[in-house]
Amino acid sequence: MKFVKHSFLFSSLLLFLSGCSALPVLDPKGPVGEAQKDLIFWSIFLMLFVVMVVFVLFTIILVRYRERPGYDSHEPEEMEGNKWLELIWTGIPIIIVILLAVPTVRTIYQLEEPPQSTRDKEPLVIHATSANWKWFFSYPEQDIETVNYLHIPEDQPILFKLTSADSMAALWIPQLGGQEYNMAGMMTEIYLQADEPGVYDGRNANFTGEGFTEHTFKVYAQEEDEFDAWVEETRQEAPKLTQDKYDELLLPGHVETQAYSSTHLEYVNHAMDAEYTLKAYERQGYDPEKEGSH
C-alpha cells in the first residue's frame, strides 16, 4: 500500500503538535509497525477530510444564520428534509467506510502471517509468558530463558507464543508493532520483526493490578552473529532454571533481569495449565487472600 505520500507531512505536523516528545507508534522499526502506521495515516487522512467538511459547514451555517441585529425577525420556513442531500450524506460515508475497510481487512490478514520481506527465513519462536509483574521469554530451540529482557535478531520474523501465568496481560513493543493479549490457559500468537538493530521499549499494556506500571522490559535487536554469540554465552554461563526457582519467581512482585540456560517449559506451559500458578502459590504457602487485602 502506498498511501504514505502524505505521511511525512502528517508526521511532522504530529510531532510539532506533541511538543518535543517522540511518538514511537508513528516511528516504527519493523514491517508490522510499518503496516500499522500506513493504515493509521490513511485513516487520519480520510478522517481529516470528514472533519473539515463538517467544520466548514458548521462554521458557515453558524455565521450565516445566527440571530443578530439585522437578522432577528426572519421567521424560518419549515423543511421536511431533502432526498438528494440525504442520499449524498449517506452515500459518501459508505464510500469512506469501504475505503477504510478494504485496507483494514487486508492488513488484519497480512499480520497473521510472517512479514513478506523475510519470507525466506524461518521464524524464531519465543514463548512470552507474563506473570504478575514480570516477563519470561523462553527460547525453546536455543533452550534458554530470560526474565524482563529480550534479545532478538534483526531482519528475522519472530513468532511470539503468548500466554500468562495469572492475570491477563498484553505484550506490546510499540516500535515493532501492536499488542496482543497474554491469557492463562490460552495461547495467542503474534509475529513481530525488527528491521534495524537497537534497543526498544516493551511493556505489558493491559492492566494487571498493583505492579502493572513497572511491568516493562527492554528489547535488544541485534545483528545475527551478535545474537548468536549472545545465545551461546547465555547457554554457557547462565544457571539452569529449576522448578523451585521458577515457582518462586511466580510470586507477585518485580524482579531484576535474569537469564537461564533452560526454560520453564520443562515444568509447565501455562497455555495448557491455567492452574499451575495457584498451586505453586500453595506449595510455597502464599495466600493471596491475606496478602491482597489492605
Partner 1 sequence: MAWDEFFVTGDPLIFGAQISIVLTIIGIVFVLTKYQKWTWLWKEWLTTVDHKKLGVMYIISAVLMLFRGGVDALLMRVQLTMPNAEFLDSTHYQEIFTTHGTIMIIFMAMPFLIGIMNIVVPLQIGARDVAFPFLNAVSFWTFFMGAMLFNISFVIGGSPSAGWTSYVPLAGDELSAGIGQNYYLLGLQISGIGTLLTGINFLVTILKMRAPGMTLMRMPMFTWSTAITCILIIFAFPVLTVALAMMTFDRLFGAHFFTLMDGGMPMLWANLFWIWGHPEVYIVIIPAFGIFSEVISTFSRKNLFGYKAMVYSMVVIAFLSFIVWVHHFFTMGAEASVNSFFSITTMAISIPTGVKIFNWLFTMYKGRIKINTAMLWALAFIPNFVIGGVTGVMLSMAAADYQYHNTYFLVSHFHYVLISGTVFACFAGLYYWYPKVFGHKLNEKLGKISFWLFVVGFNVCFFPMYFLGFAGMPRRVHTYTEESGWFDLNVVASIGALLMALGFMVFVYSIYYSIRYAERLTTGDPWDGRTLEWSTPSPVPYYNFAKVPEVHGLDPYWEMKKQGEAEFDVNQVELEPIHMPDNSAVPFIMSILFFIAGFGLVFEWMWMGIIGGIGVLITMIVRSFDPDEGYHVEVDEIKEIERKARRKEA
Residues 128-167 that bind partner 1 (CB under 8 A): 132, 162, 166-167
Tell me how far, at minimum, the Cβ of 63 lies from partner 1, in Å: 10
Residue 58 per-residue DSSP state = H
Which residue carries 520453564 as its cell? Answer: 264
Binding partner 1 (rule: CB under 8 A), the pick from 129, 193, 208, 269 is 208
Under rule CB under 8 A, how many of the chain's residues touch partner 1? 100
Q: Does 40 bind partner 1 (CB under 8 A)?
A: yes
Taking the C-alpha atoms of residue 230 and residue 39, their distance in angstroms, rounded to an integer, is 35
Binding partner 1 (rule: CB under 8 A), the pick from 7, 30, 31, 39 is 39
Instruction: Output the DSSP codes for 262-292.
Output: S-GGGT--TTT-TTHHHHHHHHTT--HHHHH
Binding partner 1 (rule: CB under 8 A), the pick from 126, 131, 184, 250 is 184
Q: What is the CA radius of gyration of the chain?
A: 26
Q: Does 285 bind partner 1 (CB under 8 A)?
A: no
Provide the b/e sequence for 165-174 (b: ≥16 CB within 10 Å). Answer: bbbebbbbbb
Closest CA to 127 of 5, 267, 255: 267
Q: Does 294 bind partner 1 (CB under 8 A)?
A: yes
Q: Does 112 bind partner 1 (CB under 8 A)?
A: yes
Taking the C-alpha atoms of residue 12 and residue 8, their distance in angstroms, rounded to an integer, is 6
Residue 284 has which C-alpha cell?
510455597
Secondary element (H or E) of residue 200: strand 198-204
- Count of all residues that appear for the chain in the document: 294
Binding partner 1 (rule: CB under 8 A), the pick from 188, 242, 258, 261 is 188
Q: Does 18 bind partner 1 (CB under 8 A)?
A: yes
Binding partner 1 (rule: CB under 8 A), the pick from 121, 123, 211, 231 is 211
Q: Does 50 bind partner 1 (CB under 8 A)?
A: yes
Minimum CB distance to partner 1 smaller for 112 or for 232 = 112
Q: Does 272 bind partner 1 (CB under 8 A)?
A: no
Tell me how far, at minimum, the Cβ of 133 lies from partner 1, in Å: 10
Binding range to partner 1, per CB under 8 A, among 86-94, 148-156, 220-228, 259-267: 86-94
| Contact between residue 202 and residue 217 where contact means Cβ atoms under 8 Å apart | yes
